[in-house]
Amino acid sequence: MSLSSTLSHLWPFPGGVKLAGHKTLTNHQPITTAHIARQLIIPLSQHIGQPAEPTVNVGDKVLKGQVLGYAHGPVSAPVHASGSGVVTAIEEHLVPHPSGLSALCIFIDTDGYEQWTERSPLLSSQQNISELSSEQIHEQIAKAGIVGLGGALYPSAVKLKTAEKMHTDTLIINAAECEPYITCDDVLMQKRPEEVILGILLIKKVVGAKQCLIGIEDNKTEAYQTLLKTISGYNTPHCDTQIEIVQVPTRYPAGGEKQLIQVLTGKEVPTQGLPMDIGIICHNITTAVAIYNAVYRDEPLISRIVTLTGGAIKQPQNMEVPVGTPIRDILNQAGLDETKIEKIIMGGPMMGFALPSIDIPITKATNCILVSEKGELASPPPAMPCIRCARCSDSCPMSLLPQQMYWYAKARDLEKVQDYNLFDCIECGCCSYSCPSNIPLVQYFRYAKTEIWDDELERNKANIARDRHEFREQRLEKAKAAKAEAARLRKEKLLKKKALDAKKAKDNAKDNTKGNAKDNDEKNQSDKHSSTDLIQEAIARAKAKKAQQQSQKKNTDNLSEAQQKQIDEVNERRRKRS
């Protein structure tokens, strides 16, 4: 097998359709640069997962490359300023999305100086990738806010870390670009092949893949030859950086991740599974260049090449556009003829979606702005009843049964439609394109997916509410039990205190009784002694008085007879009384 040609064998994928490419409008034009917009509108949600959290405030001056929002949550990515200026608002604004809804955006009035924040590249062009560790490269990718630029928008750092843990053997670089009109990947490979290859080698270093394949459609001859020539300088017999570029047949949707894997390896990704389940990781060619810029230039993902094409544009081209630039600005730069506008689509005619306005910003997801003139993209006639021709099934690249899925989606039988592997549908549009009854099958499938996701969200909310209610009930029950236990302990403590106080009072009463009896005895004894003493004293006084009377000299001598008679009468009365 030649390292610089094609695999000896390719495997077909089921279904698919042959489409008119319309790529010659732009695939031979140079890459132009967008003018500096007067105002940038940078959404904080430009990736799958949690939106970034703003790190700046209104009135702050910011530099180009400065972080505006940090990654919030395990699946998220930071957002950076794509120009220097002043933050004038942080508010909701319409963003390019199929839902047509708004998202939180940071508005920057640019100053025109394009002053960069300080940068410190991990490698110079003279250094070898082997000088870096996988961890260093991974951290730089995460810091740069790089996401999958093939349309998935999954944060690349998260994807690479998962692949590293799962011991990925094969790295596949998707350069097929099968959607009509879009040529941004094609031109990137033609004009910047060195950046493409070095970015691929960085990815290969991180995941530790033993094999690397670049899948490119065989209608991109110039890009294929340019890459082939560039790869020859890296594929030497003494290095382990072998990269093989493989041409695959031009058939839509050969650029689908699962379809490209099947064509190159013959392996099928399991239903509702991931390529990593079979030891494969797939990255887009533009993502590889973004990783090169992050490591070799310390540039975050703040711009991307966008294909501007369609009959209403005078100068179709591929333009490098800073993220946040209003779509109106770049369309005017490419020569928009507003009198010819019929539809404005972000992406290609098969998987793209109509934009509600051109006053919305370019995001990391924007690979093409297609402005068609009248009759260029024929509007399908009204849908007719299904005639059960099975063309939708024959064209489905995922081997699904779109007819059955359509019936159940239309009836809103969401459980039954999932039995037919609804979520394996890649929404490529082959079934709708092939349907002779013009039934918008993809729209029905998107509707069913949205309803299922909404129901799942409601169930999750209900489960969360139930869990919170149960937790609250448990908390209140625990609080009630704790309160009752505290009351019991207080009561028990009070009873013990009362019993102790009663015992002390009883003991004190006994002591007081004994003390009173002793005092009474002592008092009685004292009273008794006192009474005896008083009697003795009285007797002693009487005796003393009597003795005194006896000792006194009587003055009854020389009394007259009448005086003596009077004294005798007194004594007689005393005697009688006694």
What is the sign of the dihedral through the CA atoms of 268, 273, 276 and 281? positive
Spatial contact of 41 and 93, defined as CB atoms under 8 Å apart: yes
Q: Which 3 state secondary structure label does DSSP give 307?
A: strand
The domain 384-523 is classified under which CATH number: 2.40.160, 3.40.50, 3.30.1400, 1.10.1060?
1.10.1060
In this structure, the dihedral spanned by the alpha carbons of residues 464, 469, 473 and 475, taken in order and rounded to 10 degrees, is: 50
Whether domain 31-373 has CATH 3.40.50.11540: the reply is yes
Q: Are 321 and 29 in contact (CB under 8 A)?
A: no
- CB count within 10 Å of CB 486 equals 10
Neighbouring C-alpha atoms within 13 Å toward the C-beta of 7: 18
Task: Determine the Cα angle at 292 with ends 289 and 294, to 5°.
Answer: 115
**pTM, to two decimals:** 0.79
Instruction: Give yes or no for a contact between 51 and 44, defined as CB atoms under 8 angstroms apart.
Output: yes
C-beta separation of 77 from 143 below 8 A: no
pLDDT of res. 292: 96
**CB 198 within 8 Å of CB 173:** no
Take residue 181 and report the two structure tokens written for it.
Answer: 């009109």
**How confident is the model at residue 513, as a pLDDT?**
73
Among 83, 91, 80, residue whose Cα is nearest residue 108: 83
pLDDT of the residue at 4: 41
Domain assignments of the chain as residue spans, ordered by start: 31-373, 384-523
Question: Tokens in use for 4?
Answer: 């610089």
pLDDT by residue for the chain (578 residues), tens only, comes to 333 444 558 999 999 999 999 999 999 999 999 999 999 999 999 999 899 999 999 999 999 999 999 998 899 999 999 999 999 999 999 999 887 889 999 999 999 999 999 999 998 877 788 889 999 999 999 999 999 998 889 999 999 988 877 788 899 999 999 999 999 999 999 999 999 999 999 999 999 888 899 999 999 999 999 999 999 877 655 555 578 999 999 999 999 999 999 999 999 999 888 899 999 999 999 999 999 999 999 999 999 999 999 999 999 999 999 999 999 999 999 999 999 999 999 999 999 999 989 999 999 999 999 999 998 987 778 999 999 999 999 999 999 999 999 999 999 999 999 999 999 999 999 999 999 999 999 999 999 998 998 888 888 889 889 999 999 999 999 999 999 999 999 998 899 888 888 888 888 887 777 666 666 666 666 666 666 777 787 788 877 777 766 555 455 556 677 777 877 777 787 777 76
Stretch (H or E) spanning 106:
strand 102-110
Report which of 198, 335, 175 is spatially closest to residue 245, judged by C-alpha positions. 175
Contact criterion met (CB below 8 Å) for 24 and 305: no
Return all residues near 83 (Cβ < 8 A) that are at least 6 apart: 36, 37, 40, 64, 108, 110, 114, 322, 324
Amino acid letter, residue 467: D
| Confidence (pLDDT) at 239 | 56
Q: In what order do the strands lie in the sheet with 353-354?
A: 31-33, 317-322, 303-309, 368-373, 341-346, 353-354
pLDDT of residue 458: 86
Q: What pLDDT, on a 0 to 100 scale, did the predictor assign at position 501?
A: 85
Three-state SS string over 120-173 comes to: CCCCCCCCCHHHCCHHHHHHHHHHCCCECCCCCCCEHHHHHHHHHHCCCCEEEE
Backbone angles phi, psi at 501, to 5 degrees: -65, -40
Reference 280, options 381, 170, 362; nearest CA is 170
Query: Which residue, chain included where needed, has tokens 């062009």?
Result: 125
